[in-house]
Amino acid sequence: MKRLWLLSGLLCLLTACGSKDPTADLTVYVNRLQKQTPPATSLLAAFHFRAANHFNGQLAHSPFPQTSDSVNSALLAKPPLERYPIDVLHLLGIVLQGAKTFAVIQTPDLKIFQVQQGDLMGNHFGRITLITAYSLSLIEPADPTSGLANPQTITLHLKAS
């Protein structure tokens, strides 16, 4: 008997919640939203837009640093070891490979290069003339524009570590 009362109560509860149209509540809600009027101001009116400024290189100052393209392109066209003065290049080691002798050079940006006799090195066109077990010698030609009247011999020595 108790089960019968429980079943009849559950049946009454389910029939009270049900309706013929399962989307009736959604339809009522959508109709109510469509009847509402939109706000008087649009979203774009809340923003204050300024007229666009067009950049003209002759009339306005550029916000970017100005560099001489001809100087930069000429410097970058040189091989890496010819971009730096000799005094900032470091002799890291000497490699003896059969009858050939190579020197290992490090640039200020920590790049490492292998050179041999006859290669150019330094920003004054120094040519490597001799590589020994402990040093590298090169000759920079005379250049009156840089104040070098006579050819100059420069020797880089291995440093004891």
pLDDT tens readout for residues 45-69: 666 666 666 656 566 666 666 665 5
CATH of domain 83-157: 2.30.30.830
Question: Residues 4-32: what's their mean pLDDT?
Answer: 72
What does the pLDDT read at residue 63?
65
Measure the N-to-C terminal CA separation of the chain; round to a whole number of Å.
103
Per-residue pLDDT tens for 69-83?
555 666 677 888 998
What does R_g of the chain's alpha carbons equal in angstroms?
42
Residue 128's pLDDT band, with cuts at 50, 70 and 90, is very high
Q: How far apart are CA 120 and CA 109, in angstroms?
A: 19
